[in-house]
């Protein structure tokens, strides 16, 4: 069982940056690949980024590639999402999630979810 708590969301102007954090409970954090998804109003939840158990592998949605960076600190049971050059279309609730399988982009492949944190990017 893994419990995930996101933080770091907020309101930022276009072109700005935010860093999301996700703290995980339990002693098996390093056993999970971690991911970030987002959901905008009226839209389906979409994949943003994922990172392998060791942190050596990362994968991004095309829409955020080059602007967002996912990382993890297994000693701190925390995964991060650094978001730069933010655009209004990045506005969404961002969810941290954990999976036993690396390289997955579908929400159904992730077993544990946080409560989400709101990111709003103004023009």
- What is the chain's mean pLDDT, rounded? 96
β-bridge pairing 117-122 and 10-13: parallel
Kindly report the three-state secondary structure assignment for every residue of the chain: CCCEEEECCEEEECCCCEEEEEEECCCCHHHCEEEEEEECCCCCCEEEEEECCCCCCEEECCCCCCCEEEEEECCCCEEEEEECCCCHHHCEEEEEEEECCCCCCCHHHCCEECCCEEEEEEC
Mean pLDDT, residues 63-82 taken together = 98
Tens-digit pLDDT profile for residues 1-52: 899 999 999 999 999 999 999 999 977 999 999 999 999 999 999 999 999 9
Our measurement of the distance from residue 47's CA atom to the centroid of its chain's CA atoms, rounded to an integer in Å, reads 9
**Residue-level pLDDT at 102:** 85
């Amino acid at each position: 069982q893994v419990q995930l708590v996101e933080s770091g969301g907020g309101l930022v102007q276009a072109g700005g940056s935010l860093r999301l954090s996700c703290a995980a409970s339990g002693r098996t954090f390093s056993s999970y690949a971690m991911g970030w998804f987002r959901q905008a109003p009226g839209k389906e939840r979409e994949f943003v980024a994922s990172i392998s158990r060791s942190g050596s592998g990362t994968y991004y949605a095309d829409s955020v590639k080059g602007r967002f960076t996912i990382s993890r600190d297994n000693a701190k049971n925390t995964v991060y999402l650094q978001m730069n050059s933010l655009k209004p279309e990045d506005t969404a609730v961002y969810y941290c999630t954990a999976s036993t399988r690396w390289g997955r982009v579908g929400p159904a492949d992730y077993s544990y979810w946080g409560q989400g944190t709101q990111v709003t990017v103004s023009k």
